[in-house]
Structure 1
Amino acid sequence: MTHSTRIRVEPRHKNNVPQWIVDLIRAKNLARRLAHRTGDAVDRREANRLGNEVKYALIDHRNDQWERKLESLTAEDNSIWRMAKALRSNKKPLPPIHGTRGLVFSNEEKAEAFADSLELQCRPNIEDADVDHIERIEHQVEDILSRQIETSTTPTSPAEVRKIIGSLKVKKAPGPDNIPNKALKLLPDRVVVALTTIINASLRLCHFPSRWKKANVIFIPKPGKDPKFPQNHRPISLLSSIGKVLEKVILTRLVRSGTAGLFTSSTLPACHWRWSN
């Protein structure tokens, strides 16, 4: 019997409605049921009066809540900027996409249309390429690999890993692992030590984990362009933050190798040299 007993769950009123408004709503419901049962004009007028009273009481309550919310906003905790962003938000649903396969409507077909567009845009442009420059880089890489210089990569330390994690921006969106930068900043020391061990193993084995190479690609419409066409969207790759930590560890060692004369400005792209400098 105890297992079959029905337990009544009290309804939870949203927005923390005061008890006097809850009592007023109950009185309105009782008056409406009475007016429906009797059909008397006096009972109907009383039900309508209570209905209007509840309506304006809820409006005043919501206005008071909104005023208290606005008064609590401050710049110190960024709450005022979050509210401003939410009020300015003008998100529009993604329209049908016109790709190489025609006009598509479903999310799966839109993803394929974006993939086809990226494939067309990211093809190597062999016709306009500087063949001499490519051959020169290939010869330099072959020369470096043929030297067989046994240089052990300097392992990283928990202090360096912690410093890199501290430089990550909190508001950056996470990658496929859904681990935000804020969570990395709150890691205990023993977890940072374990992460350092994994990074040192990657350096020792010259292996970058494939999971950290994957990214969630989102598309942002270019301003002033027709969003119906996939080429008018800017792709943004969201990578794993842990993979970014390993990237920065590798970058510092590449910069040291570059300053030691192992790499030249013609070996690495100019963007890497601007980034490292």
Structure 2
Amino acid sequence: METVASESWHTVIERAGDDCSGIHHLYHRLSGKPTPIRPLMANDGTPHEAIIEQHLKAYFESPIAPAEDPVVFSPEQVQRMIRRTKLRKAPGPDRVTNEALRHLPPRAIATLARLFNGILGLS
């Protein structure tokens, strides 16, 4: 003989379904942990990875304009510093982890070097 609590528990599990997102959502509801912020989601919660991937592909395929200021940081120096970062450190407000930085393509590393040089150039 099943109790009302047992029946409602079975209903909750059935609603979670077999997909990972439903089970993940149920876990967060039961554990009391907040649902993580997903930066690749639109405000309505729908994914828009294709738009972001298209934008990033166009950005990384575009030629890099020549630097007008003397180079202070080279892409190799930026890459070396990224590799020296500890992987287990918490991400900053942008939520970019050190592990994600280590997987940046060479064009992104060059862009970071130019950004750092521009910041230094503007004081």
TM over 0.5: no
TM-score (norm 2): 0.43
Which structure would you say has the larger RCO, counting Cα contacts within 8 Å and 6 or more residues apart? 2
> Max radius of gyration: which structure?
1
For normalisation by structure 1, the TM-score amounts to: 0.20
More strand by share: 1
